[in-house]
Amino acid sequence: MPAVLGFEGSANKIGVGVVRDGKVLANPRRTYVTAPGTGFLPGDTARHHRAVILDLLQEALTEAGLTSQDIDCIAYTKGPGMGAPLASVAVVARTVAQLWNKPLVGVNHCIGHIEMGRLITGAISPTVLYVSGGNTQVISYSEHRYRIFGETIDIAVGNCLDRFARVLKISNDPSPGYNIEQMAKRGKKLVELPYTVKGMDVSFSGILSFIEDVAQKMLATGECTPEDLCFSLQETVFAMLVEITERAMAHCGSKEALIVGGVGCNVRLQEMMAAMCQERGAQLFATDERFCIDNGAMIAQAGWEMFQAGHRTPLRESGITQSVALRPSFSERLLLLTPGASPKMTFCCTMSLDLLEPQLAPSMGYL
């Protein structure tokens, strides 16, 4: 059976994965970790990726028990993400594809998350809550189309958590979100924080600004503990996400919910989503940190779906695009379902469907 090698490096994590016939054969990953109270700069992150990517490639092939001759396709993250890290990985993917004489497929990072979630969980037609450091969206199936029902109007939930961690100087090892989750388990007091849901959309900038303004004063006066703030932030932002996800499910009559993206491995978020789904008679699908967090296997899987649909990325077009997010035309805000392929998703990410030739739209695969 065909095997696909996938390279992911859109942020501070870099992974190389191997997928064959829907099975993950290898999925090693490394993380660039910075000091508490700091973020990660694109240039420094890219240097980290360049230093470890060849070792990861060898590790993935060894773990999968394959050689270059066994690989049928090379997939890599084209975007969205941070420019320098993306470019550092793309150049390796291009080089490997040329050296091994293999076809190259550029993959949308967001699509990779969703395809991996569907592969691992077996979800068929879910309402998707996509939550990560750079994206927060609710995507659901309605009237023969996948539609973006809601999203953040400013910063992503993962970005909110990361920046909150900097305020409290919480460790970035293994990740700010993980350490916030562990501290929140020890929180006992729910601090009232701004709760902003605008129809089907959410806003996290206000709650972050509020915490930045009052956190140190509240901690200094003993009004709350760092654990209380972690607990309060999680409860508030996750409640917002559950609310808009439930609205999308109610609109579509959906009986499946799927959480994808790095924030999706948070156990408390999964618990809150599970409670909502139970009340609705629906089923929640979620994965653990191996597949929720950025990884090479998700790019390999999405790349294989694209490869099967006939997609190839010519070398002259094999650059990176930081802005290719799951945000289609303003008028449509949708994702198509590929006709006759249940339920393989065809994503319209960067242009209006009105700009496509009608006869091409059903067969384009991933844009």
pLDDT of residue 143: 65
Asked if residue 21 belongs to a known ligand binding site, the reply is no
Asked if residue 135 belongs to a known ligand binding site, the reply is no
pLDDT at 366 over 50: no
Residue 64, H or E segment: helix 42-64
Asked if residue 109 belongs to a known ligand binding site, the reply is yes
Give pTM, 2 decimals: 0.87
111-115, 139-143, 219-223: segment of lowest average pLDDT: 139-143
Asked if residue 181 belongs to a known ligand binding site, the reply is yes
Q: How far apart are CA 231 and CA 225, in angstroms?
A: 10
Query: Residue 175: which pLDDT band, with cuts at 50, 70 and 90?
Result: very high
Residue pair 82/11 in contact (Cβ under 8 Å)? The answer is yes
Asked if residue 178 belongs to a known ligand binding site, the reply is no
Three-state SS for 104?
A: strand
Roughly what angle, to the nearest 10 degrees, separates helices 83-100 and 42-64?
A: 40
pLDDT at 335 over 90: no
Asked if residue 131 belongs to a known ligand binding site, the reply is yes
Q: How far apart are CA 273 and CA 285, in angstroms?
A: 10
Asked if residue 113 belongs to a known ligand binding site, the reply is yes
pLDDT of residue 147: 82
pLDDT of residue 223: 95
Query: Residue 202: which pLDDT band, with cuts at 50, 70 and 90?
Result: very high
Asked if residue 206 belongs to a known ligand binding site, the reply is no
Q: Between 3.90.550.10, 3.30.420.40, 2.40.160.10, 1.10.3720.10, what CATH number should domain 3-116+291-322 receive?
A: 3.30.420.40
pLDDT at 336 over 50: no
Q: How far apart are CA 249 and CA 233, in angstroms?
A: 24
Residue pair 107/306 in contact (Cβ under 8 Å)? The answer is yes
pLDDT of residue 182: 98
End-to-end CA distance of the chain: 25
Give 207-223 pLDDT, tens digit per residue: 999 999 999 999 999 99
Beta strand segments in 230-333, E: 256-260, 283-285
pLDDT of residue 353: 26
92-106, 127-141, 286-300, 353-367: segment of lowest average pLDDT: 353-367
Asked if residue 24 belongs to a known ligand binding site, the reply is no
